């Protein structure tokens, strides 16, 4: 059984590193329950890797951030090209966002079901988002134990489930914006209708020295330096900002913050307060208990218990 469990691949796409970090913490949760998973990066639409059809996997994982209230386009392409599994294979989903996932995991689950994958768990993680449109200065949030524990706990629960110790669907969604239909309309509006980063991304040819770094890192293969000054194919671009972070000459910028230093260029999960190296992370023995009201209630019950004990014992 253990050998079989060692084969779990977790495919992830991560532009600014959050999804990778959360996946590493989930991996840690698995590891501590003696199940190893392998993180496989979805790097470019030109070079997508998939589970091997000839192998049988105890489960596979898929991790992605939310873009424009939807599954990012690179993941939709991945899901589209994913070969149908020979036998029903469990799949788990990790979904990072700035707090508005809009139940996009549901869309991914639908597509996975069509390919003979059966969802066994979903994790939604609100992350400290510092994408180009949220300047670091104005959005100084960091990581906290609640987020880290949430990821770890998901991994540990899944490991238990795969060891047949637990049969429940592991649902660690944020509980908000669960309206699937709304999500679908939003998708149509944002991705299909307004599918263009033109006007949002500004390219300055005078700063560019044609090193090709942006072309190499673009996950959507939307950049062609031969086409300068029309560097970016805006119909392909999904606005992940990888090129903005990568360009050593700051030739690519966000159009509506032209005077600021390139936002998020040096941002990684490590640079946010509260970062703990997944290798050094330990699950806190006292994980936070959900909402503030619940905690208040439990706190009041504890106080009441102490007072009653005092009264009984004199």
Ligand X SMILES: Cc1cc2nc3c(=O)[nH]c(=O)nc-3n(C[C@H](O)[C@H](O)[C@H](O)COP(=O)(O)O)c2cc1C
The smaller minimum CB distance to ligand X, of residues 12 and 117, is found at 12
The sheet with strand 170-172 has its strands ordered as 37-41, 8-12, 60-65, 89-97, 117-126, 170-172
Helix, strand, coil abundance in the chain, percent, nearest 5: 35, 15, 50
Q: How far is the CB of 207 from ligand X (least distance, A)?
A: 22
CB of 40 to ligand X, least distance (A): 14
Q: Closer to ligand X at the Cβ: 68 or 106? A: 68
Q: How many CB atoms lie within 10 A of CB 38?
A: 12
DSSP-assigned states of every residue in 44-96: -TTS-----TTS--S-EEEEEE-BTTB--HHHHHHHHHPPPPSS-EEEEEEEE
The site map against ligand X for 162-191 (x = CB under 6 A) is: ------------------------------
Non-local (6+) Cβ contacts of 289 within 8 A are 295, 298
Given the complex with ligand X, which of 17 and 58 has the nearer CB atom? 17
Considering CB under 6 A, how many residues would be counted as binding ligand X? Answer: 23
If binding is defined by CB under 6 A, does position 23 make contact with ligand X?
no
Considering only 5, 18, 30, 124, the residue that binds ligand X (CB under 6 A) is 18
- Is residue 127 a contact point for ligand X (CB under 6 A)? yes
Are 106 and 70 in contact, with CB atoms under 8 Å apart? no
Min CB(67)–ligand X separation in Å? 4
Window 222-241: residues binding ligand X (CB under 6 A): 239-241
Which residues of this protein are in contact with ligand X, per CB under 6 A?
A: 14-19, 65-69, 96-101, 127, 129, 131, 239-241
């Amino acid at each position: 059984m253990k050998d079989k469990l060692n084969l779990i691949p977790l495919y992830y796409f991560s532009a600014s590193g959050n999804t990778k970090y959360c996946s590493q913490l989930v991996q840690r949760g698995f590891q501590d329950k003696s199940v190893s998973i392998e993180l496989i990066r979805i790097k470019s639409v030109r070079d997508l890797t998939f589970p091997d059809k000839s192998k049988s996997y105890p489960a596979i994982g898929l991790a992605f951030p939310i873009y424009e209230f939807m599954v990012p386009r690179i993941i939709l392409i991945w899901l589209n090209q994913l070969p149908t599994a020979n036998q029903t294979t469990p799949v788990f989903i990790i979904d990072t966002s700035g707090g508005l996932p809009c139940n996009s995991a549901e869309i991914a689950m639908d597509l996975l079901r069509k390919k003979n994958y059966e969802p066994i768990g979903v994790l939604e993680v609100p992350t400290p988002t510092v994408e180009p449109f949220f300047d670091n200065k104005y959005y100084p949030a960091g990581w906290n134990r609640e987020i880290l524990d949430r990821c770890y706990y998901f991994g540990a629960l899944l490991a238990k489930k795969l060891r047949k110790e637990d049969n429940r669907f592991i649902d660690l969604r944020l509980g908000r914006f669960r309206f699937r239909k709304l999500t679908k309309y939003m998708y149509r509006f944002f991705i299909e209708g307004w599918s263009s980063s033109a006007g949002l991304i500004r390219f300055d040819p005078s700063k560019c020295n044609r090193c090709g770094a942006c072309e190499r890192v673009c996950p959507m293969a939307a950049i062609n330096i031969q086409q300068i000054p029309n560097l970016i194919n805006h119909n392909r671009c999904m606005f992940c900002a990888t090129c903005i972070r990568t360009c050593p000459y700051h030739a690519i910028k966000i159009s509506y913050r032209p005077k600021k230093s390139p936002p998020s260029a040096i941002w990684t999960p490590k640079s946010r307060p509260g970062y703990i190296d997944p290798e050094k992370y330990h699950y806190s023995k006292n994980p936070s208990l959900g909402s503030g009201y619940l905690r208040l209630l439990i706190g009041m019950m504890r106080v009441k218990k102490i007072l009653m004990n005092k009264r009984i014992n004199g």
